[in-house]
Structure 1
Amino acid sequence: MKKLLKFLGISILGTIGIILILLIIFYKSDIPIEENQEKYFTEESQYIEINSNKLHIRQMGEGFPLLLIHGSFSSLHTWQSWQKNLAQDFRTISVDLPGHGLTGPNPEAQYNTDYYAHLLWKLMKKLNYDSIAIAGNSMGGQVAYKMALLEPEKVKKLILLNSSGARIANDTAKFKDQNNFSVFSLINHPVFSKLMTSITPKFLFKMSLEQVYYDKSKITEDKIQMYYDLMLHEGNRTATLKRFSQRAPSEFEKLAKIKIPSLIMWGEYDSWIPVEHAYRFDSILPNSTLKIYPNAGHVPMEEIPEETAKDAVEFLKATEN
């Protein structure tokens, strides 16, 4: 018994010691709102207040409105190249979802995909867009198709890029169980998840980008820094942990009734959401087209923006037979 108590005591002290070392080496306080705003708020940026949220959005171009919805751990910056490439043909609207980017945390602590879908329809109403097209990546793909389920008559075209929702019933669970160590390993760990609000090593962001990009040469220091800065934006880390505890049903089976023309775009080398999920979306959506990219991973609109933007424009401009 004494040996067991001694072993437990040493284990507890060892754990405390490791935590203290991590705090000393990797502790990082939140980045003040003003600091990130100075770096990432552009001339196209504006804030729109909806339901206690101060949403950071960017509108660019002229033409039919296209709403762009980013994925988990990301921000509207993932659509930068698309917004430039589509500016001649469409009015693009990108938005930082609550808990992401310059929008920051939601005062009511609501972050699931159902909440996001309802919130974005309120944003569209405030911007006076009655009829839109929607594109969403990863978690943003699930938000996009939930918007289509809510108001199908208002959505003319739907684009899903490496969308979540096809594997399981809950929207923020692990994307792929067979993944090696990733940020999801920490988010789903009962101890380390709590530490992530104060210990967030920058190397995690480099590692995550290496997992979502197929071509690692396209990962720049500036890109890593941007992802790091915006995750450390005041309140975003705490919001991220709350978001992963708020799981709404994916409603994947309801996609069978969506008649909206849909384009499924997928990077073949996606290590977070396998390409097999693209075929599941294609099989359930009644009016879908599937495009697989052999030179991209989880964020094809960011990794191969010219190629994917071209395909998106062709799809959005195409008339139904």
Structure 2
Amino acid sequence: MKLYCEYLLNDKPPILLIHGFASSTYTFRRILPLLQERYSIIAVDLPGFGKSEKSTSFIYSFENYAKVMIECIHKFGFSTTHIVAHSMGGQIALNMARLAPEKINKLVLLCSSGYLNPANKYLVWSSYFPFFDKFIYYYIRRKEVKDHLKNVFFNQNLINEDLIHEFGRPLAEKGFYKALIRLLRHREGDLPSHQLQKIKVPTLLIWGKEDRVVPVAVGKRLVRDLPDAQLITYENTGHLITEERPEFVFKNIIMHTS
């Protein structure tokens, strides 16, 4: 499987960036120039998203995503790394911490997904029907890209043509919908409390108080379940926190990983 990756290798500590659902490395475009002064950077488009392959044989479970990301760390020759992960990427990072805690120094989770169940079994069964990918296509495309972006921003004035183009580009690819169906089938649900309580990796949770996608209540629950975690919230900030508060996110990453 071919993965798209952006990286900058130097003699500084490594940091792995993991984006969220229906996104790409573009999520981190505003913090990458800041991070490159202090870190070696690896940013990967997850299988099925961005410019990476939309495989129809990969099992799109969080555990498999985590294993792929662990292999990326090995590929670049790092023994350990910090991880910054957004939204669904937070669940992948937590699975990495569950599978290979010795590989991870610190976790920074940005508006992380949490406590979601697997897809409804009837919906999973329906995904095997012919032309289900067309149903998914029309369901997602029923709204304009700008409307989807309005849901992840608090400050609507930040939505511009570049953002609309970049977030709309993958939605035009047929392969994206086939991969999305496989994610629907294989996503095993977010880690439950009893598994989160075993993750000892020091974790910083950063949240927008006006996040409509993953409410801050999820962050408050995660900080109770994770043994070594703290939560920081930003006023007047939505789900796409790296776009609305890049400088604050950068400063908090520095403080947590130093």
What TM-score do you get using the length of structure 1 for normalisation? 0.72
Structure 2 match to 1:55: 3
Structure 2 gaps of 5+ residues are 121-126
1:221 equivalent to 2:161? Answer yes
Q: Distance in 2 between matches of 1:199 and 1:287?
A: 40
Query: Could you tell me which of 183, 189, 200 is aligned with 1:259?
Result: 200
Structure 2 match to 1:73: 22
Q: Distance in 2 between matches of 1:316 and 1:295?
A: 25
1:169 equivalent to 2:117? Answer yes
Runs of 4+ off more than 3 Å: 190-194, 196-203
Q: Distance in 1 between matches of 2:245 and 2:224?
A: 25
Q: Distance in 2 between matches of 1:245 and 1:298?
A: 25
SS of the residue 2:232 aligns to: strand
1:168 is displaced (CA, Å) by: 3.0
Aligned length: 249
Q: Residues 96-245 of structure 1 correspond to what in structure 2 (within 5 A)?
A: 96-165=45-114, 167-170=115-118, 194-197=134-137, 201=141, 203-233=143-173, 235-245=175-185
* Structure 1 residues 103 and 161: alpha-carbon distance in aligned structure 2, compared to 1, 3 A threshold: same
SS of the residue 1:310 aligns to: helix
For residues 215-258 of structure 1, give each alpha carbon's deviation from its aligned partner in whole angstroms, at most 9, with x where no partner exists.
01001111111111123235112211221222214223212122
- The AA in structure 1 aligned to 2:39 is F
Query: Which shifted more, 140-149 or 202-211?
Result: 202-211
* Structure 1 residues 192 and 211: alpha-carbon distance in aligned structure 2, compared to 1, 3 A threshold: farther
Structure 2 match to 1:284: 225
1:247 equivalent to 2:187? Answer yes
1:206 is displaced (CA, Å) by: 1.0
1:123 is displaced (CA, Å) by: 1.4
SS of the residue 1:134 aligns to: strand
- Give the conservation status (yes or no) of the 8 Å contact 1:72–1:140: yes
Structure 1 match to 2:123: none
Structure 1 gaps of 5+ residues are 1-52, 174-187
- Give the conservation status (yes or no) of the 8 Å contact 1:255–1:284: yes
Q: Distance in 1 between matches of 2:233 and 2:29?
A: 22
1:203 is displaced (CA, Å) by: 4.5
What TM-score do you get using the length of structure 2 for normalisation? 0.89
Structure 2 match to 1:299: 240
SS of the residue 2:218 aligns to: helix
Query: Could you tell me which of 200, 211, 214 is aligned with 1:270?
Result: 211
For residues 182-235 of structure 1, give each alpha carbon's deviation from its aligned partner in whole angstroms, at most 9, with x where no partner exists.
xxxxxx9x9986334478648532111100111010011111111111232351
- The AA in structure 1 aligned to 2:106 is K
Structure 2 match to 1:309: 250
1:98 is displaced (CA, Å) by: 0.9
1:260 is displaced (CA, Å) by: 1.5
Query: Which shifted more, 261-270 or 105-114?
Result: 105-114
Identical pairs, percent: 32
Q: Distance in 1 between matches of 2:190 and 2:159?
A: 31
- Give the conservation status (yes or no) of the 8 Å contact 1:100–1:231: no
- Give the conservation status (yes or no) of the 8 Å contact 1:69–1:76: yes
- Give the conservation status (yes or no) of the 8 Å contact 2:56–2:182: no
Q: Distance in 2 between matches of 1:263 and 1:298?
A: 16
SS of the residue 1:105 aligns to: coil
1:117 is displaced (CA, Å) by: 0.4
1:66 is displaced (CA, Å) by: 0.8
